[in-house]
Structures are given as C-alpha cells and as structure tokens.
Amino acid sequence: MARAQAAQARVLADAADLGMRRVAELVSVSSREAELPVRALAAELGVAANMSDRTVQRRMNDAAVLAEAFPATFDAWDAGRIGAGHVAVIMEHGLPLVDAEARSEFEAAALARAEGTTPGRLGSALARLAESLQPRSLAERHREARASRGACVRDLGDGMAEFTSVQPAVLAHAMHDRITQQAKAIKNADPGDVRTVDQIRADLVADMLLTTTPTVETGAGLSDGFGGLGAIRGIVNVTVPALALAGVTDEPAGLAGRCPIDPATARQLAGHATGWERVLADPITGCVLAVDRYTPSADMKRFLRARDQHCRFPGCRQPAHRCDRDHTHDYALGGPTDACNLACLCKRHHTLKGETGWTVRQLGGGVLDGPHRVGTSTSTNPHPPSTSPPTPTHHPSRHGALRPSE
C-alpha cells in the first residue's frame, strides 16, 4: 500500500516538475498566466482520477516539496519502509528547518525512528528533534510567536460559525483538558444527557466566555505575570538522560506527548507544581527506564503510618502522622520513593539525620540499622511486622547505605 501511494506521489511530483518547466518556457507573462500550465496539468489528472483539480494541484505541490526537500523520505516511502502518515509528520516538523544541512540531519534521524513506530507516536519525538536543530532558541522564537495570538470567527452557514483562538501551547492544551474534564463530569452526572462530550465542550466554552468577568491576572498575559498559567497545577517530569545528567547535552523542556515548550513557561509551571517526578531515560532509545516521585503516594503514606506508628529514632514516641517521611538514601542522590527507602522521623530527628553524622541503613522489611553515629550500632524493628508494603519496585541491596559525614 505504501509503495502504491508513493508511486502516485511520484506521478504528481513529475507533473509539478513538468508544469514548472512549461512555465519557464513562457516568454513574458502575468502571474495569473504563469500558473496556467500547472493548473492545466492538475485539471487533466483530476478528470482522470475523478478528483477536484484544486485537490490534485495541492497534492502536486506537496509531492514537489517532498521530492526536493526530503528525497530520502521519498525513497523510503517508495520502498514501503514507511507510510503516508510518517511522511506527513516528517514534513510537518522538518519544513521549518531552513538550513539544508540541519534538515538533512533531521531527515536521517527521523527515518530511523519512523520505521519502528506509528505516525502518532513519531510526532512528539520529531518535535524535540527539530527543536534541537533550530539555530535560534525556543525562548526567543516563542517571544516572537506570542505576538500572533488572537481570536477570530468564520461563518460556516446554516446558522453556525467557527470560533478559533491561537494561544501558547501550554495554555491551549490546558484549556482543552479543563473543558474535557468538566464535560465528562457533566456527562457522568446526568446519564440522560444526549449531548456528546464534544458538544458539551462547545457549550462550556460559550458559557465560560459569556459569563466570566475578566480579571487583572487574565489581562497580565504571560510576559508581565503568570496569567492563565497561575490556574495550571503541573506535575513536573524531570527527564534525566545519562548524557544530559553528565552535562554533555542541554535538552529543552517538553509538554508531555505534545511539543517542546519555552524554558520560562516551564519554570513558572515548575514553581507551582504540587509534585515532582523523576524519569530516567535511555540516552540512545529514549525509552523510560524508571519513574520516581519525591512525594510518597497516599497509599504509601498510610502504609508507613501503619508500619512505623511513631518516629523511628530510638526512644522517640512522636506519632507517625506528625512525622516526616524521610528518604533513608537521599532522593537527590538517587534514593527511590518506596517503602524500602522511607521511614517516619519527627522534625527534630529528621534534621539530626540530615545535618549531622547520624546515619540510617535499611535492612529490608522495615528494619533499620541505626540511626547511629560512628562506633555505635542500633537496630529498630517496625510495628506491626506483618504489614506488607504497596508493590515496591526497588530492593534495599541496590541502594547501599549512607555513611557518616565525619
């Protein structure tokens, strides 16, 4: 199927090339007359294929661009290694690269990824790849692009019209996510509502825009204040490829599964985040190797309260619900957020462990070796010992132990 589609595109590319050669043969013509050879070819092909000549001419132009700017992609399509969907995604993200060398580098990397995934998944990966090859930073281009934001209306007939708003990507996706959640909540609350979720979304947009009073924060936008970002509570995924961790590369922030976002927006979202997740990814394949969050889940907190019942420092009876959940092996140094690396410590003893020579080592099953200083040895058992943790993903033996700072 891919080879057949590519063969058809080759015919259209050849037709576009023939049309341009005929235009070049004209002596002196107006811009309207110069288009006639291409238009005539599009009409001839359209009649033969039972298609609109406008559609054929648009496809001729697309095929000509593909043949000129992405020849390797056209060859891969010819060979059946990729499909029409892959080609469209590669062109979408590669055309903004005006430098021929950068575009060639992009095409080679894009084809390597395209042959092993679907067009839908390919898009987000190519967005980051194209961004890394841009000569100007995303922050600089985003400042200029924000000037194009706006809203307009286009009449569709039958008493309908289309309302469109151009927004920064983070706000646009956040707006769509909010009305989707609200539409689903309305649908679930009233099983008798015959509207589709998409129809409810449209009704919600109208209700919000016609009944909401603008505020100072709304008018501030993104340059002078947080604007709409102040209403977004992000979960910040800190992706740490090995090369970036070593300081070799400097990758941009990204809107998960969508597109790269400018650093300023990412910093504002990070400042308001209620939780942080650490994602360790393979530097070559990009596959996620491990995911970890600093703040324990609600289930994990309940388990720790039941297991420890009070501060784990010897002799301390501070109730667990008043204690901190301490990472035995420091989270910043690679310690995971799971039951085999957490223990309840009150503020006093949490500070003592973090700021002095007192150390703790997890022995498994909630048993702690310590807290102790150099030359001392103390172990404490959890209570009750029969409680089982919520699906730990790491083992204590992998973490090692903290050693005295003295």
Average pLDDT over residues 275-289: 63
Residues 10-65: pLDDT tens digits?
999 999 999 888 888 876 666 667 778 888 888 989 888 888 888 999 999 999 99
Higher pLDDT, 340 or 294: 340
Place of tokens 């090859």: 133
Higher pLDDT, 62 or 390: 62
pLDDT the model gives residue 317: 83
Task: Give the helix/strand (H/E) hosting 125.
Answer: helix 119-132
Task: Give the helix/strand (H/E) hosting 343.
Answer: strand 342-345
Mapped onto helix, strand or coil, the DSSP state of residue 264 is: helix
Positive or negative: CA dihedral 258, 264, 265, 267: positive
Higher pLDDT, 185 or 289: 185
Peptide bond into 384 cis (omega under 30): yes
Residues 153-203: pLDDT tens digits?
888 888 888 999 998 888 888 888 888 888 998 988 888 889 999 999 999
Of 91-105, 145-159, 269-283, 336-350, which gets the smallest average pLDDT? 269-283
Distance, in Å, from the CA atom of 243 to the CA atom of 372, rounded to the nearest integer, reads 37
Q: Model pTM? A: 0.48
Task: Give the helix/strand (H/E) hosting 204.
Answer: helix 197-211
Show Cβ contacts of residue 190 under 8 Å, excluding neighbours closer than 6 positions. Answer: none
Task: Give the helix/strand (H/E) hosting 361.
Answer: strand 359-364
Task: Reply yes or no on whether the pLDDT at 228 is more than 80.
Answer: no
Give the model's confidence band at 7: pLDDT under 50 very low, under 70 low, under 90 confident, else very high. very high
Distance, in Å, from the CA atom of 201 to the CA atom of 176, rounded to the nearest integer, reads 8
Place of tokens 């056209």: 74
Of 159-168, 278-287, 302-311, which gets the smallest average pLDDT? 278-287
Q: Which residues pair with 150 in a beta bridge?
A: 166
Of 3-17, 146-160, 279-293, 331-345, which gets the smallest average pLDDT? 279-293
In the chain, the percentage of residues whose pLDDT exceeds 90 is 21
Range among 138-152, 222-236, 299-313 with highest mean pLDDT value: 299-313
Mapped onto helix, strand or coil, the DSSP state of residue 277 is: strand
Show Cβ contacts of residue 181 under 8 Å, excluding neighbours closer than 6 positions. Answer: none
The b-or-e profile of 151-168 (16+ CB within 10 A means b, else e) is eeeeeeeeeeeeeeeebb
Compute the 3-state secondary structure of the chain and give helix, strand, coil in percent, each to the nearest 5. 50, 15, 35
Higher pLDDT, 63 or 254: 63
Specify whether the CB–CB gap between 353 and 371 falls below 8 A. yes
Strand 288-293 with 324-327, pairing: unpaired
Q: How far apart are the first and last CA of the chain?
A: 69
Distance, in Å, from the CA atom of 341 to the CA atom of 292, rounded to the nearest integer, reads 12
Distance, in Å, from the CA atom of 398 to the CA atom of 406, rounded to the nearest integer, reads 24
